[in-house]
């Protein structure tokens, strides 16, 4: 391992980094990114990388967008901070909430602003609990999410998340958080089961779970339209069509976690529109501001708002809110981002790029290391396996995904590896056809180099 640079050493001695083996990281050190432009970021040596993950699934408009910079600067000059507590307000938050209601895929009455996807999902759960107390249904509190879902890391959001790394030794999930089966056909369908049959079985299993728990105890079902951090899992055909009536039958509120899929990722404004379902409430974050500033939100139906009103009348105060929720500078940037999305037809163009992206992605299914290459819109996952026929995964300790990420970085491409050696791709929505080709050419070289390494080290043996 080459010695760390001065800046890298300072990093290792001062920061706790999320989502890394902290022990290995001490020797490997960070990749320090200094600047960005378009779909490229540059490290401290000036080396360019295609940002194949749009940061963390967020920089939809790419880097260095001067209009967003200007919107932030202008708002900061005018009013650098204001809050929404205790009856105060400001025009960027009002305008943004109006705009979100206008573009919402289902009738939305009000928007509650917060700062992160985790806070949005945490708030969803608190609001559902509050709602059911207001309706005099104090037992209706359990929340169902899915195995491999990712909904964040705060105590409640991590409980919703269906990944062991977010639970183990954090004493999570909390009681009352249930995980339904993961809708991944490649991994969990029975032999010979069609996508539709698999979807029907999952809907039946969800129904059975709610009945077993008691419908009077189950409050909500939360789902990402396409699961992101769990490994880019596109649900089987007709999945949501079959899940929706189950939730409706048991009066279980459906929450769409649009933190990744919202704002054009699947080629539609919201992911639920692409997947054909109508949620009761929606969580948004990330591309809401193209990742330029932290801002997130919960979009609520009128029925919930009425219950919040009733509860406020009863107990006096709606006791929930974040200091920086709806921060005026972040709200101004989000407004500008949405203006650009609309003016420049960013989502329509992403939909036009999607077949090009998906065709190049699907070609990796022929690669000896790839078990499944899958995706929708401008999101993709490449699952690396030790044996294509049996779908056997590599031993986790071999760190194949992490090694593939390094090979990609050597080629000038940033991708991410998530649990199960799945490489994830989620480029800025403004990527061009030529840039998509360049991204996949780099990924192909990285996979070939990974395969050479796997063969040299004999890591594919069972
Ligand atoms: C679908 C989804 N929900 C929630 C979150 C949590 O968002 P944050 O990291 O902003 O708390 C993420 C983050 O990646 C996400 O992908």
Please write the tens of the pLDDT for every residue from 256-296.
Answer: 999 999 999 999 999 999 999 999 999 999 999 999 999 99
Ligand 1: lining residues by beta carbon, under 6 Å? 56-57, 116-118, 121, 150-152, 224, 228-229, 257, 259-260, 285
Atom of ligand 1 nearest to the CA of 224: 1
Model confidence at 460: pLDDT above 90: no
Instruction: For 285-338, write each residue's pLDDT tens digit.
Output: 999 999 999 999 999 999 999 999 999 999 999 999 999 999 999 999 999 999
Residues listed for the chain: 462
Per-residue confidence (pLDDT) for residue 461, from 0 to 100: 79
Q: How many whole angstroms from 416 Cα to the centroid of ligand 1?
A: 15
Q: Is pLDDT of 458 > 90? A: no
Confidence check: pLDDT of 222 > 80:
yes
**pLDDT score of 84:** 98
- Are the beta carbons of 391 and 421 closer than 8 angstroms? no
pLDDT band at 46 (very low <50, low <70, confident <90, very high): very high
Phi-psi region of 377 (alpha: psi -120 to 50; beta: other; left: phi over 0): left
For atom 3 of ligand 1, the residue with the nearest CA is 151
User: pLDDT tens for residues 354-384?
Assistant: 999 999 999 999 999 999 999 999 999 999 9
Ligand 1 center–CA 65 separation, angstroms? 23
- Closest atom of ligand 1 to 117 CA is 7
Q: Please say whether the beta carbons of 91 and 125 come within 8 A.
A: no
Per-residue model confidence (pLDDT) at position 314: 92
pLDDT at 211: 98
Q: What tokens were used for 397?
A: 């300790």
| pLDDT, tens digit, 9 for 90 and up, residues 114-146 | 999 999 999 999 999 999 999 999 999 999 999
pTM above 0.95, yes or no: yes
216, 139 contact by CB (below 8 A): yes
CA-56 nearest atom, ligand 1 = 14
179 CA distance to ligand 1 middle (Å): 17
The residue contributing the CA closest to ligand 1 atom 13 is 152
- Of all protein residues, whose CA lies closest to atom 8 belonging to ligand 1? 117
Contact between 428 and 39 under an 8 Å Cβ cutoff? The reply is yes
Task: Please state, in angstroms and rounded to a whole number, the distance separating the CA atoms of residues 443 and 64.
Answer: 24
pLDDT for 1 equals 77
Query: Could you tell which of 19, 56, 113, 118 is best to mutate to test the pocket of ligand 1, judged by most ligand atoms within 8 Å of the CB?
Result: 118
Closest atom, ligand 1, to C-alpha of 57: 14
């Amino acid at each position: 391992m080459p010695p760390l640079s001065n800046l890298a050493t300072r990093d290792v001695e001062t920061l706790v980094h999320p989502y890394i083996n902290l022990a290995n990281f001490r020797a490997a050190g960070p990749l320090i990114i200094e600047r960005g432009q378009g779909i490229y970021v540059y490290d401290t040596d000036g080396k360019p990388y295609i940002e194949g993950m749009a940061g963390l699934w967020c920089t939809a408009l790419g880097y260095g967008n001067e209009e967003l910079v200007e919107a932030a600067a202008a708002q900061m000059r005018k009013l650098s901070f204001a809050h929404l507590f205790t009856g105060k307000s400001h025009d960027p938050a009002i305008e943004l909430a109006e705009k979100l209601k206008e573009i919402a895929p289902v009738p939305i009455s009000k928007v509650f602003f917060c700062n992160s996807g985790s806070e949005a999902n945490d708030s969803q759960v608190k609001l559902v609990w509050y709602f059911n107390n207001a309706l005099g249904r104090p037992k209706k509190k359990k929340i169902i999410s899915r195995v491999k879902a990712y909904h964040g890391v705060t105590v409640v959001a991590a409980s919703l998340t269906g990944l062991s790394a977010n639970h183990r030794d954090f004493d999570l999930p909390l009681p009352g958080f249930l995980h339904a089966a993961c809708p991944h056909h490649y991994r969990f369908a029975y032999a010979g089961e069609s996508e539709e049959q698999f979807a029907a079985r999952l809907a039946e299993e969800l129904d059975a779970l709610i009945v077993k728990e008691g419908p009077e105890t189950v409050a909500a079902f939360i789902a990402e339209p396409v699961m992101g951090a769990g490994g880019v899992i596109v649900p089987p055909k007709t999945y949501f069509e079959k899940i929706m009536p189950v939730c409706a039958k048991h009066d279980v509120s459906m929450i769409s976690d649009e933190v990744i899929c919202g704002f054009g990722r699947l080629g539609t404004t919201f992911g639920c529109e692409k997947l054909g379902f109508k949620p009761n409430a929606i969580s948004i974050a990330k591309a809401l501001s193209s990742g330029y500033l932290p801002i997130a939100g919960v979009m609520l139906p009128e029925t919930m708002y009425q219950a919040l009103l009733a509860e406020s009348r009863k107990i006096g105060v709606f006791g929930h809110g974040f200091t920086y929720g709806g921060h005026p500078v972040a709200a101004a940037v989000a407004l500008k981002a949405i203006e650009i999305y609309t003016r420049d037809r960013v989502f329509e163009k992403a939909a036009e790029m999607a077949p090009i992206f998906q065709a190049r992605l699907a070609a990796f299914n022929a690669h000896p290391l790839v078990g499944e290459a899958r995706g929708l819109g401008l999101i993709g996952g490449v699952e690396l396996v030790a044996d294509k026929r049996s779908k056997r995964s590599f031993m986790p300790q071999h760190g194949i995904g992490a090694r593939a990420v390094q090979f990609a970085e050597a080629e000038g491409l940033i991708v991410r590896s998530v649990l199960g050696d799945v490489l994830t791709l989620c480029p800025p929505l403004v990527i061009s056809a030529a840039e998509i080709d360049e991204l996949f050419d780099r990924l192909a070289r990285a996979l070939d180099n990974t395969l050479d390494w796997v063969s040299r080290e004999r890591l594919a043996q069972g």
